[in-house]
């Protein structure tokens, strides 16, 4: 499904990804690493929000290196951002509808992601944890084939971690995912494959 081949990224002189190579057939891949190890940059390169300095990315046999984010989304790759990208002056409901490819299942997604109690509140009026859930809802409303989830468990309380795990497990059979985290504990409960990234390099897999 996804092949990342020898991807490197420099910001000025700062090398933040070094020859990153991995592939994902199906299922859920967990990528863990410390702050600044390059997780977000890697997901942004796959989704087209950053350009690699070198290397190539293929999705379902098609090269997506350097394609624009909106093209990559159309091919079925959606990203849920670590730093939220939502429309702060719109309601939760409106945000999810805007993201949705079709609207018939948005209610189900919002219900499953524990957003029902804030559906008609503006995004700027809800808690950080709920914004996190909204970001996930917007990603899955796109009906992706591959979902790139950048630290989906950060800033969630224990109850909502369970809500999200349940949601992702339910979709894991149809939708492939790459999920990043600092720690392995929660990731291990859901990922079928794990990679460790350190200083922009993949240093281990399990």
Ligand X SMILES: Nc1ncnc2c1ncn2[C@@H]1O[C@H](COP(=O)(O)OP(=O)(O)OP(=O)(O)O)[C@@H](O)[C@H]1O
| 141/99 Cα distance (integer angstroms) | 6
- 93 contacts which partner out of Mg ion, ligand X, none, CB within 5 to 8 A by kind? none
Q: Please, what is the minimum distance in Å from the beta carbon of residue 108 to Mg ion?
A: 29
Binning the chain into helix, strand and coil, the percentages to the nearest 5 are 35, 30, 35
92 versus 149: smaller Cβ distance to ligand X = 149
Q: What is the largest CA-CA distance in the chain?
A: 48
Window 60-89: contact mask with ligand X (x via CB under 6 A): ----------------------x-------
| 11 is an interface residue for ligand X by CB under 6 A | yes
Binding status of residue 135 toward ligand X by CB under 6 A: no
Closest CA to 204 of 82, 61, 49, 30: 30
Closest to 171 measured CA to CA, from 99, 87, 112: 112
Does 114 help bind ligand X (rule: CB under 6 A)?
no
| 47 lines the binding site for ligand X (CB under 6 A) | no
If the CB atoms of residues 40 and 91 are measured against ligand X, the closer one turns out to be 40
Does residue 132 touch ligand X according to CB under 6 A? no
Stretch touching Mg ion by CB under 5 A, among 76-84, 126-134, 139-147, 191-199? 76-84
Cβ burial of 129 (10 Å; 0-12, 13-18, 19+) is middle
Give the angle 23-176-65 at the CA atoms, nearest 5°. Answer: 50
Q: List contacts with Mg ion (CB under 5 A).
A: 39-40, 82
């Amino acid at each position: 499904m996804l092949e990342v081949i020898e991807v490197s990224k420099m910001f000025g002189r700062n090398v933040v990804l070094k020859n990153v190579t991995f592939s994902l057939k199906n299922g859920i891949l967990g990528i863990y690493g410390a702050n600044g190890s390059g997780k977000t940059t890697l997901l942004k390169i796959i989704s087209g929000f950053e350009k690699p300095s070198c290397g190539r990315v293929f999705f379902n046999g098609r090269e997506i290196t350097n394609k624009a984010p909106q093209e990559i989304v159309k091919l079925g790759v959606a990203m849920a951002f670590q730093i939220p990208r939502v429309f702060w002056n719109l309601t939760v409901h409106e945000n999810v509808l805007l993201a949705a490819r079709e609207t018939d299942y948005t209610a189900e997604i919002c219900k499953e992601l524990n957003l029902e109690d804030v559906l008609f509140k503006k995004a700027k009026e809800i808690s950080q944890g709920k914004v996190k859930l909204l970001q996930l809802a917007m990603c899955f409303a796109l009906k992706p084939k591959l979902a790139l989830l950048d630290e989906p468990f950060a800033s969630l309380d224990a109850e909502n971690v369970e809500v999200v795990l349940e949601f992702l497990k339910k979709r894991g059979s149809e939708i492939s995912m790459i999920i990043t985290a600092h720690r392995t504990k929660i990731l291990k409960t859901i990922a079928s494959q794990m990679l460790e990234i350190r200083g922009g390099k993949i240093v281990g897999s399990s």
